[in-house]
Amino acid sequence: METQYLRLEPTLVGRPRRPVASPLVLWLTLTLWVTAAPTVMRAAASVRLHSEARMLEILHAERTLLTYTFATNQFKPYVRELITLDGVDLLRDATADHLHHHGLMYAIKVNGINFWEEAPQAGRQVPQAELIREVRKDPAGRPQARFTQVVHWVEAGHATAPDTEPFALLIEERTITITTDPATELIQLEWESEFTVGAGAPEVVLTGSSYHGLGIRFREEFDGVAERYNSEQLAYPDEGREGVLPTRWMAVSHVVAGRPYTLVLFNHPSNPGQSRFFSMQKPFAYLSATQGLDEAPLKYRTGDRWKLRYLLLASPRRMAAEQLDRQYDLFIRP
């Protein structure tokens, strides 16, 4: 099978368009060479889109940092892998105990339809298009790559319709941005979702369990033993049981191959609902940024728009609370 390569200039482009079916494997590669820290000669941020496999990669210096998968037989598109600069994937996908746990994923309930668990009648997040938005340097000169995808949230019976837009309860424009800092080995992932009410209902009611939201399933070594700490220094339930805390950020850290890897999730204060985090150690390590929809549902009508913003940090070090407070301040700065 022939492979085509298409090189694009790193400029901002418009709203994603629907993909055109093709028998070819199409690779879209955007590469921007930028000067990094003095100890790093050169660093490349790039994105590769594998249309036939319906999978996208973000790379740093030709090493995969993130894979995002959106196959047509999936219930939802999600981040399958998040790999540190030294090569450790911190996520797990579709584990035997919970097949619906997918690396880094976002899901809730809409009008009573469950988009989190994946029973036959569960809702489907149907991806409409994929498009590389830009590859650039951030204001600090660090390599940065970004992509956007439009997602229709529909009932199971409409998931295979040729055009799902008339049935969409929600229309989501999802943007994921990766920024790398070779000097500190820090990866920043920003998840932004802008929603509108779709044509499938004049009103939507958003609800969910205490753990519904932006969820992370950690690699197996974290299960039962990972350290948890948070911005408000609140105590966790005994024996690693599940619990929900009203904090600005929450961190989970554990030693893997001699290094204390840490994932930190930040909830932006502009997000609708309540800033809460669900977490647990046993029987497995899990973390979700939630909106408190189990206690206070949110209602929207046709024409309403709202936005969710989250920041995820991945580091091969244990990050101090003072450092994370500074990161939070940078995240929320206008």
Average pLDDT across the chain, whole number? 87
CB–CB of 223/284 below 8 Å?
A: yes
pLDDT single digits (tens) 65-102: 999 999 888 999 999 999 999 999 999 997 878 878 88
Mean pLDDT, rounded, for 136-164: 95
User: 264: closest CA among 251, 280, 247, 277?
Assistant: 251
Residue 326 has phi, psi (to 5 degrees) of -65, -40
Q: Which domain holds residue 146?
A: 3-332
The 3-class SS string of 41-103 reads CCEEEEEEEECCCCEEEEEECCEEEEEEECCCCCCCCEEEEEECCCCCECECECCCCCCCCEC
pLDDT single digits (tens) 177-233: 999 999 999 999 999 999 999 999 999 999 999 999 999 999 999 999 999 999 999
The token pair at 323 is 């450092």
Domain count, the chain: 1
Helix/strand/coil for 293: coil
pTM for the structure as a whole: 0.87
Mean pLDDT, rounded, for 282-288: 96
CATH number at residue 262: 2.70.98
